[in-house]
Structure 1
Amino acid sequence: MGFSASSKDIRKLKQAISKKRPEEEVAEISTWIVKDNLSREEILNRAKEVYGPGYEYLIDDIDECIIEAMALIEEAGIDLKEKRIYKEKLSAIFGLLSDKKSIQKLSLRFLGAEGKDKVDALIQLLKDDDPKVRSEAARVLGWIGDTRAVEPLIQILKDQDEDVRKSAVEALGRIKDPRTVKPIVEMLKDESSEVRAYATYALAGKKDPSTIEPLIFMLKDNSWRVRLGAVYALGNIDDPRTLEPLIFALKDENAYVRKRAVEALGKRKNPNAVEALICALKDEHFIVRIETANALGNIQRPSAVQALISALEDEFENVRIEAIRSLGKIGDPCAVEPLTQLIKKGNSSLRWEAVKALKNIKDPRVVEALVFALGDISDYVSEEASKALVEIKDPRAVELLTSLLLDRWTLSWIRIKAVQTLAKIKDLSAVEPLIRALKDEEPSFRKEVTQALKEITGQDFGEDQEKWQNWWEKRNSV
């Protein structure tokens, strides 16, 4: 049998809304509660329907709105205690996280704990008959992070409800207190794989070397989520004993576990992991290969260069992109030729990445490759090549660019790009070739040359080649 609000209650609410003039969302939610007796979950679902999927960006805090709506209903003289939103206590529990004292005060009152400390009130709720209440109270205690909650949370680790145990473990993981570590380790033995997984992630935040052995044991758990959490936790502990277990995890049957192990090894930057990571670069799953290419770039060992060059042929473009980036990070000259070939034959994304990688490699061939890329049909690749030529500050760049701008067989827009790049480099050795270029027949080209001369010299003789030449000769004679 559905709920039906009395016309009297609806009239009372309308009068209260007219008098108090609350925010639109508060008025609407109060109407839903009175007319349809909605629970918190039902209010959230209806808010999605009314305001769209991004309602949380329109409503700053849905629970604050619910608490204010409940207060409005109470002020209207309607029996709030008969409403599901009041009985379930959930919005009042979340209301205790509000920065507004008024919301916290109302929340405590709706929880029957008026005047009490919010942590004490939440600890008391850990004994509630409703497991949902116990679970959410535990979670909120974790977010608050008060150490007074440690012992009460440890007590409910034995709760019969799985969600309560998960929330208690999560909360203990958030609270910074040494007493929390051992109880969380014990939860690695829980019958529920979900609870065990929560325990591994809770330990990840502790970064405690005493948990290494229990976590290593969890790498053989039958749940991939538990193994994933164990790898994450081991990766957070800065201890040489974690290296071998993480390398072991590279052979896990689950791709997400292998990927997480690669991430951890890449973050650690231990050169002893390079050989194992080179093998992982051939993993059957592309997400592992992508992460491996990135990790090898973080470690930056020359021994990984050939494997990364081979990865430039990977069937997945994102693997090739990460390999290019890592070759740039390592900066080995062996990568110049394959990266140059990508500039000539790859798609625009690969060409762009190759240009960015090449500028980090100290090798004379790089300048030629970047000048070639200056003529790329893609504007963003050409612009990146120009920026790279400016950044590397190689004198040969000026020489190649000046020869390019004087070559009338070169396309006009490429010559213009060369002039613009010379203007950014600001090398005086480009002045004389630029003055000679003022003889060019194309007006747009001469305009760019004039602008480049102004930026390099600080002088302005327009397109008058004779004046530029006289000034230049006079300057050099002095």
Structure 2
Amino acid sequence: MYREKVSAILGLLSRDKSVQELSLKFLDAKGKDKVDVLISLLKDKDPRIRMAVANVLGWIGDIRAVEPLIDLLRDQDEQVRCEAVASLGRIEDPRTVEPIIGMLKDKEPKVRVYAAHALAKKKDPRALEPLTYALKDSNWLVRAIATEAIGNINDPRALELLIDALKDGNRSVRKTAVQALGKQKDPRAVKPLIDALRDEDFIVRIEASKALGNIQYPDAVKALISALEDKYENVRRAVIWSLGKIGHPSAVEPLIQLLKKGNPHLRWEAVKALKGIKDPRVVEALIYALGDVADYVSEEASKALVEIKDPRVIELLTSLIFERWMLSHVRIKAVQTLAKIKDSSVVELLIRALEDKEDSFRIEVVKALKKITGQDFGDDKEKWQK
């Protein structure tokens, strides 16, 4: 009977009115308002029913449920209190904040976790001070979610609290603090985040790298370049991403070095990062990457050359296709890149390239001419010239 009753309660969430009517009928409430029916079921003797009802009321979001759910916070069952807190977190009503704050002191860690989650959604400044105390909770998950909640609150006091959370003994708390600081994008967070690049946990170092990239403050570049020596590849990849995001010219040379000695994943990241930096050395570096032995790196370089819209790109690519000593796949990639750029000024040069003796190269030249001009004369040079 319990399962059928819960199914009926959940059926009240259905968008299908016929399902809702069947659910009300099963609950002996045919024709009655579903919210009123659910509120009355909050007094059911079975905690599993009360839990299901609290959950559904939260998803419905009707403010009539606020006071009954607040009363449910005193329920003897831990999971019922959890669902009541979660539902109050989903309902948009100012009356919900203070009762949720009160649940940060619940005797059960799980309820405190739910309360911190709910406050993270609310983003209400009234919760800042109580969340400060939650940062000292004995349960690490409460501290981590309280840190997230503080990061969501638009209050100047939040910054120092998040910086303090970087000293927490639990890596998940520190990771959450780093992520929150990255979202706030406050330059005052740069130095603590640079320090976090040396955190003992590599996940924290990854998030610190990303956070510095999000803040985009040039003072972080030197520390990020040093972090390219991190022993974990995923940290180095995050660092490369951030260097591209900040876009400072001092990162160009270290990224070029990665194109020459890094593994394929790092070279791919370096190509993407270079694309975001405005510096004359970038074009030559991307041309170099066009010849990478890893196809996905070469293709990324090709896309980057198209996107940066530097006038030197066409000149360098066209000269490349006539370098007969150059490896075939590099010349082909140069032609394919010119096809993507679609600049009519290269048509005459591509027609000349039809004289090449290599079949696979000429095939790509024909494809490029067709893409740029919209015409197709195969590899007949005379027809293309006319």
Normalising by structure 2, we get a TM-score of 0.93
Counterpart code for 2:247: G
Instruction: After TM superposition, give the deviation of residue 105 of structure 1 in Å.
Output: 2.1
Q: Which structure 2 residues correspond to residues 17-56 of structure 1 after superposition, within 5 A?
A: none
Aligned match of 1:371 in 275, 287, 308?
287
Correspondence 1:261 to 2:183: no
Q: Counterparts of 2:381 and 2:32 in 1: how far apart (Å)?
A: 86
Counterpart in the other structure of 2:141: 225
Deviations 1:293-319 (A, max 9, x none): 111111111111122222222222221
Counterpart code for 2:157: R
Counterpart in the other structure of 2:270: 354
Counterpart in the other structure of 2:229: 313
Q: Which structure 2 residues correspond to residues 352-431 of structure 1 after superposition, within 5 A?
A: 352-427=268-343, 430-431=346-347
Instruction: After TM superposition, give the deviation of residue 466 of structure 1 in Å.
Output: 6.5
Change (3 A) 1:246 1:137: same
Deviations 1:185-227 (A, max 9, x none): 1111211111111111111121111111111111111111111
Change (3 A) 1:114 1:461: closer
Q: Counterparts of 1:424 and 1:85 in 2: how far apart (Å)?
A: 60
Q: What secondary structure is seen at the aligned counterpart in 2 of 1:312? A: helix
Counterpart code for 2:3: I
Instruction: After TM superposition, give the deviation of residue 388 of structure 1 in Å.
Output: 1.0
Q: Counterparts of 2:173 and 2:67 in 1: how far apart (Å)?
A: 33
Q: What secondary structure is seen at the aligned counterpart in 2 of 1:308? A: helix
Aligned match of 1:438 in 346, 349, 354?
354
Aligned match of 1:175 in 76, 91, 97?
91
Instruction: After TM superposition, give the deviation of residue 234 of structure 1 in Å.
Output: 0.9
Q: What secondary structure is seen at the aligned counterpart in 1 of 2:73? A: helix
Counterpart in the other structure of 2:114: 198
- Contact (CA 8 Å) 1:96, 1:118: kept in 2 or not? yes
Instruction: After TM superposition, give the deviation of residue 406 of structure 1 in Å.
Output: 1.5
Deviations 1:278-332 (A, max 9, x none): 1111111122111111111111111111222222222222211111111111111
Q: Counterparts of 1:163 and 1:255 in 2: how far apart (Å)?
A: 27
Q: Counterparts of 1:408 and 1:437 in 2: how far apart (Å)?
A: 11
Q: How many residues align?
A: 386
Aligned match of 1:291 in 174, 185, 207?
207
Counterpart in the other structure of 1:211: 127
Aligned match of 1:303 in 219, 240, 259?
219
Q: Counterparts of 2:327 and 2:306 in 1: how far apart (Å)?
A: 21
- Contact (CA 8 Å) 1:141, 1:171: kept in 2 or not? yes
Instruction: After TM superposition, give the deviation of residue 463 of structure 1 in Å.
Output: 4.5
Q: What secondary structure is seen at the aligned counterpart in 1 of 2:19? A: helix
**Structure 1 spans left out of the alignment, 5+ residues:** 1-82, 472-478
Counterpart code for 1:85: R
Instruction: After TM superposition, give the deviation of residue 184 of structure 1 in Å.
Output: 1.1
Q: Counterparts of 1:151 and 1:191 in 2: how far apart (Å)?
A: 22
Change (3 A) 1:458 1:234: same
Q: Counterparts of 2:33 and 2:141 in 1: how far apart (Å)?
A: 37
Q: Counterparts of 1:113 and 1:359 in 2: how far apart (Å)?
A: 64
Counterpart in the other structure of 1:156: 72
- Contact (CA 8 Å) 1:398, 1:429: kept in 2 or not? no
Q: Counterparts of 1:91 and 1:466 in 2: how far apart (Å)?
A: 76
- Contact (CA 8 Å) 1:406, 1:433: kept in 2 or not? no
Q: Counterparts of 1:192 and 1:353 in 2: how far apart (Å)?
A: 45
Instruction: After TM superposition, give the deviation of residue 432 of structure 1 in Å.
Output: 5.2
Counterpart in the other structure of 1:65: none
Instruction: After TM superposition, give the deviation of residue 250 of structure 1 in Å.
Output: 1.1
Aligned match of 1:237 in 133, 146, 153?
153
Q: Counterparts of 2:45 and 2:317 in 1: how far apart (Å)?
A: 79
Aligned match of 2:249 in 329, 333, 337?
333
- Contact (CA 8 Å) 1:123, 1:152: kept in 2 or not? yes
Normalising by structure 1, we get a TM-score of 0.76
Counterpart code for 1:95: G
Higher relative contact order (CA 8 A, sep 6+): 2
Deviations 1:405-432 (A, max 9, x none): 1111111221121122223334455455
Counterpart in the other structure of 1:85: 3
**Percentage identity across paired residues of the two chains:** 69
**Divergent runs of 4+, >6 A:** 458-461, 466-469
Change (3 A) 1:84 1:333: closer
Deviations 1:312-360 (A, max 9, x none): 2222222111111111111111111111122222222221111111111
Deviations 1:129-154 (A, max 9, x none): 11221222111111111111111111
Change (3 A) 1:407 1:148: same
